[in-house]
Each structure stands twice: as C-alpha cells, then as structure tokens.
C-alpha cells in the first residue's frame, strides 16, 4: 500500500489501535483495513520489588502509556505526515491476573500486586480445596482472599477489583468491564453461561461471611464481556489521559479489554479447538483449546478461556528469558570492554544459533532461570543459578543451550501433564514472543521440549498489541453471526499457518535427559532460596 493511500486511511479513521502492557514493554500497533500493521510505538518499563511485592505504580502505568502513544504519534507523523486524531476502534490488553483494588471514591487501596507475586499460597490452597478447582496464586481472587487471611484493613473498603487491562479500560471509558479471557484469570468462568461461575461465587461469599464485609464478590468484580461486543466509547477524559497533546477525539468505540493470553491466541490464530500457542518472553505460557474437560484438576494447569469464552488449558510459568537476557547483556559488556560496539539483534542471533551447536543434553550443564518464584515446581521465590560438575562439557554452545532449555523447563513440566497424562491432541502449536525472534532457534527448542511440530508466523513478532487490535477490528467489522474463529481464519490469516518445524529426535532425547537433571537438581535451587536472601 502506498504512503499517500495509507495517510488517507489514517485521516479518515479507518484504522484500529491496539495497545498492550507487557512485563517489560508497553507496545502500540496501528493497523489498516486489512488488519496489517502500519505504525507502532513503544515504551520500556520494569516492575519494582517493594516490601516483598512485585508492583508497578499508577504513575508508571500512565507515564508509560502516554509515552508509548506519543511514540506512535511520532511514527505516524514521520511515515505519513499525518497527526493522529481518531481511530475506527481501540483495544487495550495487559498481562493477566494480579490485584488492583479501589474504594467507593475510586482511590487505590493497596499496591498493584502483579502476576509475578507468589505470596498467596495459603489462599490459593484453601480456595482450590473449597471450589475443587485449581486457583493459582497469581489470580485476583487469591490475592483478595490472602488479604482477608492477612487481616488487611483495606478489604472492608473495597468496592471494585480488576486487572491492569480492566483498569486502563475503566479510565478510558468509565465502564467497569473485562473481556472473558482476562476475567478467567481473576475468578473461574462458566463457559456455558460465558460469565462468572455462580456456584463458586456463592461458595466464596459463604467462606468470608463471618467477616462482615459490606459487599458480595460479584458486586466488586467487573462485568464479563465476550469478544465482538462493544465495551464503551472513549470519553473526553480518557482521550486526554491517552494523548497529552490534546489531538485525540472522544467517541471512539472500544472492544472488551483482554489479557495477554487472549491476545496471544488472536495473534496466532489459536482460538479454534485443538489449536495451541506458546508465548515466551519474560514469562512463558502455553494455551491449548480443549475438545473436552480434563479428567481432574491439576495444580500445574489453569483453566481459562479464549476471548470468545471457550475452555482453555493454560500452563503458566513466571520465569522465561530474564536470566537468558542477563547473560546476553553480560556478553555485550564484555565486547564493549574490548571496544566493540555490540548490535543487540546480531548478538542475540549469534548466541542463539551457537546454542544449536551444543550437545543435545547440554553437555551435563544445569541452570535455573528463577528470577522470581515458580509455582509449578513449588518455589515461592527464585535465585538464578548455573551449575556444572568438573566433568561437564563447559563451552559456549552448551552454555547457551542450557539457558534456552531452562527457559522452558517449568513449562515442560506442565505440558507433559497435558500431552502425556491427559493425551490432549493439538493440530497446531504456534510460538510467539521474544524467544522466537531469532529464526529457527526458539522454535526448534520448543519443538524438542513438547515433541510436537511448532509453527511460527511472520506476524508473530507483532505480539499481543496486534492481537488486541484484531479483537477491536472484529468488534467493528464482523458480520452478523460471524464467530471469532471464522473472522480470524478467513479475514486475517486467510489459511496461512506459518512456517512449520518438526521436532528433531536427538533434540527430544536430549531435552528429556536435561529434564532428569532439572528435576533432580531442584534441591539445589531450594538451598539457594533458603540460604541466599
């Protein structure tokens, strides 16, 4: 598409804006009428560890969003000579789960407790027992119930709790709503009604009845919405919050705010039954859209939904590439100490590809990438570790390979339950996120970990910001009775599945050998957590 025509599309608001809050970056993607990205903006940010809580401040959230949007505006101006004033539709998404609590005057009552925290073990265990449904530590209801168990004074003042995407959407539109995929990470969803599970709501209220709180759980939760419905319009206040220049006009329709799991499904065309995807960045999670329920609850498996409300088995791990990135940055420092300016894309690509030269079992090396706790393996806190014996084959290839393997070690623990115990069949597993940017490397490692063919699409690098833009476009453009699965398959991907990679038998055998060491070495990680504070 030529620049002049694209400029006209932007001027006439025939575009869709998607903005996603990731763990380390806020990204905006602007798409055209064919759902193709035409401009982008970003803002890097980091969570804080304050008083033993992983958090971001509200100032972090708003300054980051405003800088990201300003970066998008600059990109559009430089490319097309146009000042952004409106869009056909907008969507906001963010990392799921966590706890944002507000009183009747919309005052924040406690720090934003993100998905990364592993401080709700008691609440998680008790709720899972009462519901007979696995409630992970990072879910919003676990944070709420833990605050109750802790006797935190603010709980009696709570009148609204939500996730990060729900909070942004509320401030943009005035509506306290949430997309069903993100909602499924707050409290269990009944896929037959596409709403909160009524029976479990009643069980929770009965559980806390003796505390005398002036609320029932459903009254402080957002309203659940499925993909395709309009979730409000941009208010004048919301427009001013987003665009500090004052150019943005109110009245733009917004789709339901979603979590990063749902946008990952949309961005990889993985919303149909027997499809799945793995998002690998700061954290890593795998999603599998189910044909039938699992035989029983598992602590390692979360039950959530697609943006349309269909049941999904989710394996979520708190840690993925943070430690790997730290090592790459150490190599950058080394190069710069010798006077060589490192191009990070080249450095990542070189080191990732070097890993493919390593032994299938990493030459006996062992590493744990636990920057924070990891519930799947039973850790409430983490200590990144690298371990070897004098006999290990210690070279650069094996060193890089073991850090790629361990990035998926906890994930494999959960995926083995789905694939080997529950015998879930997946026709397609798609990889997306930072781990897959170097062509063929992350894809090959994932294929080895799950012994399943892995696809990667050209658009996978656009990530969740593009995924929420697609959900906003679906809301705006869908035909009557057209499902999200149909819209994505026919009007976005057009049958394109991506580049397929089969698992290599030697890699699969090597990964299995690595996992024996990974599992037997967990006491080393436990000793580090207990001894090194």
Q: What is the pLDDT of residues 214-246, one digit of tens each?
A: 999 999 999 999 999 999 999 999 999 999 999
pLDDT of residue 118: 85
Burial class from Cβ neighbours inside 10 Å (0-12, 13-18, 19+) for residue 283 reads: buried
pLDDT of residue 459: 62
pLDDT of residue 279: 87
pLDDT in tens, 340-391: 999 999 999 999 999 999 999 999 999 999 998 998 898 989 999 999 999 9
pLDDT in tens, 33-50: 999 999 999 999 999 999
Angle at 394 between CA 391 and CA 400, to 5 degrees: 140
Please state the separation of Cα 60 from the chain's center in Å: 19
Mean pLDDT, residues 158-174: 98
pLDDT of residue 2: 86
3-state secondary structure of 144: helix
CA separation for the pair 227, 178 (Å, rounded): 10
Question: Does the pLDDT at position 322 exceed 60?
Answer: yes
pLDDT in tens, 465-495: 999 999 999 999 999 999 999 999 999 998 7
pLDDT in tens, 252-304: 999 999 999 899 899 989 999 989 999 898 889 899 999 888 999 998 999 99
Mean pLDDT of the chain: 95
3-state secondary structure of 205: helix
pLDDT of residue 281: 86
pLDDT of residue 533: 80
Q: Domains in the chain, start-ordered, CATH in brackets?
A: 1-96+227-268+477-494 (3.30.420.40), 97-162+187-220 (3.30.420.40), 270-456+503-533 (3.30.420.40)
pLDDT in tens, 107-143: 999 999 999 898 999 999 999 999 999 999 999 999 9
Of residues 426 and 31, the one with the higher pLDDT is 31
Least confident range from 75-89, 203-217, 482-496: namely: 482-496
On whether the CB atoms of residues 288 and 426 are closer than 8 A, the answer is yes
CA separation for the pair 384, 402 (Å, rounded): 13
Q: Locate tokens 């990135």: which residue?
A: 325
Of residues 458 and 190, the one with the higher pLDDT is 190
CA separation for the pair 103, 459 (Å, rounded): 41
Question: Does the pLDDT at position 73 exceed 70?
Answer: yes
| 440-445 own/partner pairs: CB under 8 Å, 24+ apart | 440/501, 441/352, 441/353, 441/355, 441/356, 441/404, 442/280, 442/352, 442/404, 443/499, 443/501, 444/356, 444/501, 444/504, 444/507, 445/355, 445/404, 445/405, 445/407, 445/408, 445/507, 445/511
pLDDT of residue 425: 87
pLDDT of residue 193: 96
Mean pLDDT, residues 315-322: 93
Question: Does the pLDDT at position 461 exceed 60?
Answer: no
Q: What would the DSSP string read from start to end of 361-395?
A: TGGG-EEE--SS-BGGGTBSS---EEE--TTS--S
Question: Does the pLDDT at position 460 exceed 60?
Answer: no
Q: What is the model's pTM? A: 0.84
């Amino acid at each position: 598409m030529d620049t002049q025509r694209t400029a006209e599309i932007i001027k006439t608001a025939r575009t869709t804006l998607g903005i996603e809050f990731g763990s380390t970056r806020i990204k905006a993607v602007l798409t055209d009428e064919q759902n193709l990205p035409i401009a982008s903006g970003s803002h890097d940010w980091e969570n804080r560890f304050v008083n033993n809580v992983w958090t971001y401040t509200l100032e972090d959230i708003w300054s980051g969003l405003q800088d990201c949007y300003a970066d998008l505006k600059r990109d559009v101006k430089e490319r097309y000579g146009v000042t952004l004033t409106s869009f056909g539709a907008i969507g906001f998404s963010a990392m799921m789960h966590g706890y944002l609590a507000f009183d009747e005057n919309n005052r924040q009552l406690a720090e934003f407790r993100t998905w990364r925290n592993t401080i709700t073990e008691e609440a998680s265990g008790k709720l899972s027992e009462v519901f007979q449904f696995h409630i992970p530590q990072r879910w919003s209801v676990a944070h709420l119930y833990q605050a109750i168990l802790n006797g935190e004074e603010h709980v009696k003042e709570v009148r609204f709790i939500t996730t990060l995407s729900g909070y942004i959407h509320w401030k943009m539109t005035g509506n306290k709503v949430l997309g069903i995929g993100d909602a499924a990470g707050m409290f269990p969803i009944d896929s037959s009604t596409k709403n909160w599970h009524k029976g479990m709501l009643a069980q929770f209220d009965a559980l806390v009845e003796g505390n005398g709180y002036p609320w029932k759980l459903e009254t402080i939760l957002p309203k659940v919405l499925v993909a395709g419905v309009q979730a409000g319009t941009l208010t004048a206040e919301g427009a001013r919050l987003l665009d500090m220049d004052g150019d943005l006009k109110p009245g733009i329709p917004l789709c339901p705010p979603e979590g990063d799991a749902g946008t990952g499904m949309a961005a990889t065309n993985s919303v149909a039954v027997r499809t799945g995807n793995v998002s690998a960045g700061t954290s890593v999670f795998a999603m599998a859209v189910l044909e039938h329920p699992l035989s029983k609850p598992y602590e390692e498996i979360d039950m959530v939904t697609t943006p349309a409300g269909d049941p999904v088995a989710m394996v979520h791990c708190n840690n993925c590439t943070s430690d790997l990135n730290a090592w790459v940055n150490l190599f950058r420092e080394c190069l710069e100490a010798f006077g060589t300016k490192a191009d990070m894309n080249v450095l990542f690509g070189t080191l990732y590809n070097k890993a493919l030269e390593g032994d299938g079992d990493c030459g006996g090396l062992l590493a744990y990438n636990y920057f924070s706790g990891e519930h799947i393996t039973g850790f409430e806190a983490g200590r990144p570790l690298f371990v070897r014996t004098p006999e290990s084959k210690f070279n650069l290839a094996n060193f890089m390979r073991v850090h790629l393997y361990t990035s998926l070690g906890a994930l494999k623990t959960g995926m083995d339950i789905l694939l080997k115990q529950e015998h879930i069949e997946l026709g397609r597993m798609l990889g997306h996120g930072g781990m897959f940017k170097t062509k063929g490397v992350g894809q090959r490692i994932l294929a080895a970990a799950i012994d399943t063919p892995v696809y990667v699409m050209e658009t996978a690098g656009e990530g969740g910001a593009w995924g929420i833009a697609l959900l906003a476009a679906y809301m705006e453009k869908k035909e009557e009775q057209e499902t999200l699965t149909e819209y994505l398959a026919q009007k976005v991907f057009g049958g394109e599945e991506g580049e397929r990679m089969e698992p290599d038998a030697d890699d699969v055998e090597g990964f299995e050998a690595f996992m024996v060491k990974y599992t037997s070495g967990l006491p080393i990680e436990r000793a580090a957590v207990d001894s090194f504070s």
